[in-house]
Amino acid sequence: SDTKVMTCAAVWRMPKELESGSHESPDDSSSNTQTLELLCHLDNTAHGNMACVMWEPMGDGKKIISLADNNILLWDLQESSTKAVLSSSAALEGKGQLKFTSGRWSPHHNCTQIATANDTTVRGWDTRSMRQIYCIENAHGQLVRDLDFNPNKQYYLASCGDDCKVKFWDTRNVTEPVKTLEEHSHWVWNVRYNHSHDQLILTGSSDSRVILSNMVSISSEPFGHMVDDDELSDQEDQHQEEKIKEPLQDSVIATYEEHEDSVYAVEWSSADPWLFASLSYDGRLVINRVPRALKYHILL
Amino acid sequence: AAGSGPGENPEAAAAGTGGGGSGWRRPHGPLQRYYGPSAAEAAEAAPDPTDINGPHFDPEVFMTKVRNECPLGQLLAQEAALGREIRALDSDMQTLLYENYNKFISATDTIRKMKVDFRHMEAEMDDLAANMAAISASSARVSAALQDRHRRGAQLAGVQALLRKLQALLEVPGRLRRWAGTEPARALRCYGRARAVLRHYRHLPSFRAIEDESHAIMAELAQRLRTRLREEMLDPKELTECVEMLLQLEEPPEELSEEFLSQAGARLETELAALEAELPTSDPSGAATTPPPASDILDFVDRGSSAFVGTLCQLAGSYRTLFGEDTGRLEPFAAALATRYFALLERRLALERGLGDTSLLVRALDRFHRRLQALLELLPSGTTAAAELVARAARERVDRYLRALQTFFLGCLGDVRQALAAPRPPGKEGPGLPDLLATLAASVLGQLKAVLAYVQLFTARDVAFASLPYFKGEFCITAVREGLVVAFIRWLCHTARGFADGPAERGAPAAPPALLLLLARLCLDYESSTISYILTLTDEQFPPQDSGPPVTPGPALCAEARAAAQRLLDHYVQVQGAAVAQMLRKSVETRDWLGTVEPRNVRAVMKRVVEDITAIDVQVGQLFEEGVRRAQSSDSSRRAFSVYSSSRAPGRYAPSYTPSAPMDTHLLSNIQKLFSERIDIFSPVEFNKVSVLTGIIKISLKTLLECVRLRTLGRFGLQQVQVDGHYLQLYLWRFASDERVVQGLLDEVAASAAHRCLDPVPMEHSVVELICERG
């Protein structure tokens, strides 16, 4: 009958028990399945398929941006989030049928910037004026699949795409990527910065692999964790100096091959910075830890 | 003899007159012999006592001889002959006597008369003797009287000579003055002659005056010469003369040598300036805008060496003769100038951009080097500088050849690209890839050989500087082998890689895939044979020294070439795979899979995919070998699963969508995956057709899989995917190294489509087959 497929977006509330950091045993949660409470729909009938929805990274959680086909929609949640009002929007104009594939809201600059991806291009937008502020043409050889902002360095942006590459950009100078990773053997679907240690980069790809990389050279701590001199004895001091002198090398920390099919999502835990999960087409959710040795290396 | 003289005389006179005229002459010979044979005749003829006419005739001996020797008849004849002869002689004698009688008489009269005359003469002679005595007495008197005058005359002559000399001395200043202006050399000679005398007699005031004046003139001359030295531009010969004269004038040599050098320096400066004038002004804004030099390099070097080096040598030689062997001042002077000359030459060499004529350059450098040898003898420090200059020029030229080779290669690539891009009239095939490859490889190799031949001119036997140690060892190794050949091969690999690495970034115009394939093959050929051939050739033409610097080994270059080939081929696979994948993706993304009608045909895009892959197969097949296909193993688990999943069509997708048994297909799929190898989609390929095609097919099908997973399908959508998948399998398996890879990926496509299907009712397998066979 109705042969149209429409991607929509809605705002949901998580069950209270889960929200308050559950202490229940796994048995409990599986026995009585919690259901989400629908708060409101983001009405996109005029704008096309929703490709991406983003919460404002800081603030009171009243602002949402969604990408629908070639539109950027900024929503205000009102009346205790039961109503979403479109507060402003912008449309990407250009040749052909442009569609956003992905977007990311920058936590920097007082949350006034977002980055979007369409086809091989990455664009930055100012949410106050809803105007484009930068544009990386041909950021990837093929489709750009995902973006992420460095949580600690305000101009740094990671992107990944169908050319099997992960690229790191400085949005002040977009002619060349700062760094390029070519570790995957198929499309890279996700790239994620660790929330607190931005040298840790997680990528998931349809080659069924998850790769954890250590991009020290372009992180906010390029010489490792800085320790105040006072806290160190002489011996340690010497040791520390040696460590500082040696610039740390970017490297792949680990390749996780637990998945048997394409990995479509990877995410860091918001509670524990050393924990991450990946989800693949074969229905497998894998949770991994950052290797202990690396953890201590970063912390100490 | 005196007594008999008169007695015989009448006889002789009678005999002489008897014959009269000729008759008198005839017997003259025998008579003469008889009366007085000349001493000469007597000495000549041995005394023969038997010769009847000889002066030593001995009748006894004659008689004995005749009697002993002759027979009677002859004796009688001889006797008769003798008798006749005696008679004849007697009559002759009588005749002579008669004939000369009157003469005897007159002779006697004459003698008598003479006796009287002599008496008279004696008296006169006495008279004469007395007169002569008187004459000699008066002569002695006159002589004595003149003696004194004669002495005074001689004295006067001496004085006059002295006076003449004095006169000459007095004239010295005048002459000096006269010649000083026009002929300083003559003045100097004159002065030189006079100086010793003047110095000797300087205690005399007049001489001193002369000397002082001469000195003054000479000082003036010296002054003038100095001025000339200082102000005028003298050619080296004049300069040498001038300084030589000044030296003779006993000017301080220190000062002179300095002035000589400064004058020589000025002279050489002008020559350098003349050379420099030919060079365009060094203008930092753009070397490319300066016009090409008017004369060629050989001409320049020729003029430079004949003018500058010649003059410098000449001057240096003069300096040595003038100031002795102490060259403490000369050397730095010459060194400084030579350095400037080198600098000029270097600048001129720098103008030799482009390739020009290498033989000309080599000849120019050779001439430069040869001409310099003379100079270098007195300037040892310049040797290294000159050698370095030549070496630098040679290196520069080699570098330029490298660049030319690179340009040439790029030009060839441009031609190849054009040939590839040229629109072909239908039905007419353009040049095949193998032809293009052969042309490219041959022309590049030919060019390289030609360049090596040119460069070899630098080490030719008839070139003087080729014997320098640099050209024997380091040049061959560092400049030619490493700097030219190895660098070119490296650059070639790098450039080839650039086609794979570069354009993927930032949307530069991408190289056509055929070019990538061609370059991959080229690099592979280089790895397998060309590099070793080129290196062998180079080592033959430029034999390496044992103790030379380390060289890049052939295998390292081969590895580089291989890596480049690998990279290119991988890139080719990616590019072609991406092209096919793009087609598939668009076809999946733009279709409305929910509202589609029941499939009647294979979609056109699938046919297009098969066509493209077939075309790629042909293209790759032109340059690469077939490769090995994995043996078919019909009973493997993989195959079994695929047979299971595609043949049991009716019940195939059912389990996954019955909530009661959601794990069945997943389990099955996961178990199957556990036993199959992980398929790396963008993975390196091998250098053969099958591997390349497998790579492209993998990329294409994986894209199809991912795209299908993003869609929501209706029943007919699923069935269409089923038909397309079967069609692809029918036509693609033969290209892949392992049929199971194709099968596996297509199975996954079908399974994913079923997952994404709202109403998963697959089509009858027989119908699918029917549709595929029809289309």
**pLDDT higher than 50, residue B159:** yes
More confident of the two residues A74 and B366: A74
Residues 138-177 of A with CB under 8 A from B: 138, 141-142, 163-164, 175-176
Exposure of B542 in the CB half-sphere (CA atoms within 13 A): 32
Tokens 């980069």: give the residue.
A201
Mean local confidence (pLDDT), B471-488: 78
Backbone CA torsion sign across B478, B481, B485, B489: negative
Specify the pairing of strand A121-126 against strand A113-118. Answer: antiparallel
Segment B323-358, tens digit of pLDDT: 776 656 777 777 777 777 777 777 777 776 655 667
Q: How far apart are CA A281 and CA A288, in angstroms?
A: 18
CA–CA distances in Å: residue B629 to residues B570, B612, B623, B626? 19, 21, 18, 9
Angle at CA B497, nearest 5°, toward B496 and B500? Answer: 105
ipTM: 0.82
Residues of B in contact with A256 (CB under 8 A): none
Distance from CA of B703 to the nearest CA of A (A): 9
Q: How far apart are CA B233 and CA B531, in angstroms?
A: 61
Mean local confidence (pLDDT), B732-749: 83
Class of the CATH domain delimited by A139-221+246-299: mainly beta
Mean local confidence (pLDDT), B360-387: 72
A134, two tokens: 């930068």
User: Is the Cβ pair A137, B670 closer than 8 Å?
Assistant: no
User: Is the Cβ pair B670, A282 closer than 8 Å?
Assistant: yes
**pLDDT higher than 60, residue B103:** yes
Is the overall model pTM greater than 0.80, yes or no? no
pLDDT at B1: 38
User: Is the Cβ pair B702, A261 closer than 8 Å?
Assistant: no
User: Is the Cβ pair A207, B506 closer than 8 Å?
Assistant: no
Segment B461-474, tens digit of pLDDT: 777 777 777 777 77
Mutate to test the interface with B, among A1, A5, A140, A164 (most CBs of B within 10 A): A5
User: Is the Cβ pair A186, B714 closer than 8 Å?
Assistant: no
Mean local confidence (pLDDT), B73-87: 89
Tokens 């080592």: give the residue.
B539
**pLDDT higher than 80, residue B281:** no
Could you tell me the residue ranges of all domains in chain B? 252-279+295-380, 400-422+430-576, 591-626+678-774
Distance from CA of A80 to the nearest CA of B (A): 34
Mean local confidence (pLDDT), B633-646: 39
Residues of B in contact with A206 (CB under 8 A): 702, 706
pLDDT at B594: 82
- By percentage, how much of chain B surpasses pLDDT 70? 77
Contacts 24+ apart (CB under 8 A), B439-445: B439/B412, B440/B412, B440/B413, B440/B416, B440/B518, B440/B522, B441/B522, B441/B525, B441/B530, B443/B408, B443/B412, B444/B405, B444/B408, B444/B409, B444/B412, B444/B492, B445/B530, B445/B534
pLDDT at B427: 54
Position A31 confidence tier, pLDDT thresholds 50, 70, 90: low
Residues of B in contact with A142 (CB under 8 A): 578
**pLDDT higher than 60, residue B63:** yes
pLDDT at A70: 85
Q: One-letter amino acid identity for B471?
A: F
**pLDDT higher than 50, residue B288:** no
What stretches of chain A show up as alpha helix (H) in DSSP?
Answer: 16-19, 26-31, 234-245, 292-299
Distance from CA of A113 to the nearest CA of B (A): 24
Lowest-confidence segment of A2-16, B80-94, B304-318, B719-733 by average pLDDT: B304-318
Mutate to test the interface with B, among A165, A175, A184, A186 (most CBs of B within 10 A): A186
Lowest-confidence segment of B491-495, B565-569, B647-651 by average pLDDT: B647-651
pLDDT at B140: 92
pLDDT at B294: 57
**pLDDT higher than 80, residue B382:** no
DSSP state of B287: G
Distance from CA of B631 to the nearest CA of A (A): 26
Could you tell me the residue ranges of all domains in chain A? 139-221+246-299
Q: How many Cβ contacts (< 8 angstroms) between chains A and B?
A: 47
B387, two tokens: 């050698």
pLDDT at B379: 66
Are the CB atoms for B307 and B368 separated by under 8 Å?
no
Nearest CA in chain A to B667: A282
**pLDDT higher than 70, residue A241:** no
pLDDT at B736: 81
B764, two tokens: 């009858």
Nearest to B706 among A208, A262, A283 (CB): A262
**pLDDT higher than 90, residue A159:** yes
* Burial degree of B117 (CB within 10 A; 0-12, 13-18, 19+): exposed
**pLDDT higher than 70, residue B657:** no
Distance from CA of B636 to the nearest CA of A (A): 20
Position B245 confidence tier, pLDDT thresholds 50, 70, 90: confident
**pLDDT higher than 50, residue A158:** yes
Q: Which residues of A19-46 are buried (b: 16+ CB within 10 A; e: fewer)?
A: eeeeeeeeeeeeeeeeeeeebbebebee
Nearest to A141 among B504, B594, B706 (CB): B504
Least Cα distance to A53 among A109, A123, A100, A88 occurs for: A100
Q: How far apart are CA B729 and CA B736, in angstroms?
A: 10
pLDDT at B666: 55
E-strand stretches of A47-186: 50-55, 63-68, 71-78, 83-91, 102-105, 113-118, 121-126, 131-136, 144-149, 156-161, 166-170, 179-181
User: Is the Cβ pair A4, B594 closer than 8 Å?
Assistant: yes
CA–CA distances in Å: residue B426 to residues B429, B621, B676? 8, 22, 46
User: Is the Cβ pair B682, A260 closer than 8 Å?
Assistant: no
Nearest CA in chain B to A142: B578
Are the CB atoms for A162 and A137 separated by under 8 Å?
no
Residues of B in contact with A187 (CB under 8 A): 706
User: Is the Cβ pair A185, B673 closer than 8 Å?
Assistant: no
How many CB atoms are located within 10 Å of the residue A81 CB? 15
**pLDDT higher than 50, residue B12:** no
Mutate to test the interface with B, among A135, A258, A262, A279 (most CBs of B within 10 A): A262
pLDDT at B643: 35
Q: How far apart are CA B514 and CA A286, in angstroms?
A: 43
Q: Does A23 touch chain B (CB under 8 A)?
A: no
Q: Which residues of B407-425 are buried (b: 16+ CB within 10 A; e: fewer)?
A: ebbeebbeebbebbeeeee
Lowest-confidence segment of A196-205, B276-285, B555-564 by average pLDDT: B276-285
pLDDT at B325: 64
Position A23 confidence tier, pLDDT thresholds 50, 70, 90: low
Nearest to A138 among B507, B674, B678 (CB): B507
Best mean pLDDT range from A196-205, B57-66, B481-490, B670-679: A196-205
